């Protein structure tokens, strides 16, 4: 396998592991300690950067495919390469989602107080919503191609669950501390789903 493939998976796996650590540290039992809360914010920030880099790497590969002589996106003599076009759009959405997570993570830093955490939460929810739509789009396309169960569908489904976990968890954190435990568990479940989704790629 090409080294870029391994690097891409490593970025996703590392980012997911950091999300798992950060989700645990966002639990009220740990976040009450300032240093642990800051560590949680830092792990989420780095994890978000890794996810964004992985999406940007895939987007760069799309650009290379577009301009290569063997795989042209559209041409007068060739039909539109739909798979490449969809991949290009999905990786663009993934990159935007990653950027929202990065800015959202930074907004959680204690120096920005409660207002920053609120903005960061909504940015997380926006990023998770884009990831959710991205995964749904991919799952529908795969189902239209083949109705049978495949590992690719499982990978996409786990990614979908990951986005739902972050979306739901962000909702819990909006209640001003009443449901922070549930929010932490939701983010943890989403992070584990992202990790499993990334690991399955090796089996494809």
pLDDT, tens digit, 9 for 90 and up, residues 10-46: 999 999 999 999 999 999 999 999 999 999 999 999 9
Place of tokens 């884009």: 130
Please check whether residue 51 is in contact with residue 95, taking contact to mean a CB–CB distance below 8 angstroms: no
C-alpha distances out from residue 199 to 10, 53, 101, Å:
9, 17, 21
At 79, is the pLDDT very low, low, confident or very high (cuts 50, 70, 90)? Answer: very low
- pTM metric for this prediction: 0.87
- Residue 68 sits at the vertex; the CA angle it makes with 50 and 140, to the nearest 5 degrees, is 55
**Residue 151's CB: how many other CB atoms inside 10 A?**
11
Helices in 26-173 by DSSP H: which ranges? Answer: 28-31, 34-67, 82-107, 113-145, 151-173
Q: What is the residue-averaged pLDDT of the chain?
A: 88
pLDDT at 81: 74
Report the percentage of the chain scoring pLDDT > 90. 60
How many angstroms separate the CA atoms of 4 and 27, rounded? 35
């Amino acid at each position: 396998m090409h080294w870029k493939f391994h690097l891409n998976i490593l970025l996703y796996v590392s980012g997911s592991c950091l999300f798992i650590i950060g989700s645990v540290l966002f639990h009220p039992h740990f976040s009450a300690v300032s240093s642990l809360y800051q560590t949680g914010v830092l792990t989420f920030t780095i994890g978000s950067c890794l996810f964004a880099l992985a999406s940007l790497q895939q987007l760069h590969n799309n650009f290379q495919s577009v301009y290569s002589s063997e795989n042209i996106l559209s041409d007068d003599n060739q039909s539109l390469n739909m798979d490449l076009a969809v991949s290009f759009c999905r990786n663009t959405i993934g990159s935007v989602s990653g950027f929202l997570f990065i800015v959202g993570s930074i907004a959680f830093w204690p120096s920005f107080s409660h207002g920053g955490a609120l903005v960061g939460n909504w940015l997380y929810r926006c990023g998770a919503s884009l990831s959710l739509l991205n995964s749904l789009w991919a799952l529908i396309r795969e189902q239209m191609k083949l109705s049978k169960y495949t590992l690719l569908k499982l990978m996409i489904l786990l990614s979908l669950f990951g986005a739902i976990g972050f979306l739901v968890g962000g909702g819990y954190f909006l209640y001003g501390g009443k449901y922070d435990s549930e929010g932490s568990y939701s983010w943890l479940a989403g992070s584990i789903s992202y990790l499993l989704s990334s690991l399955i790629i090796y089996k494809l």
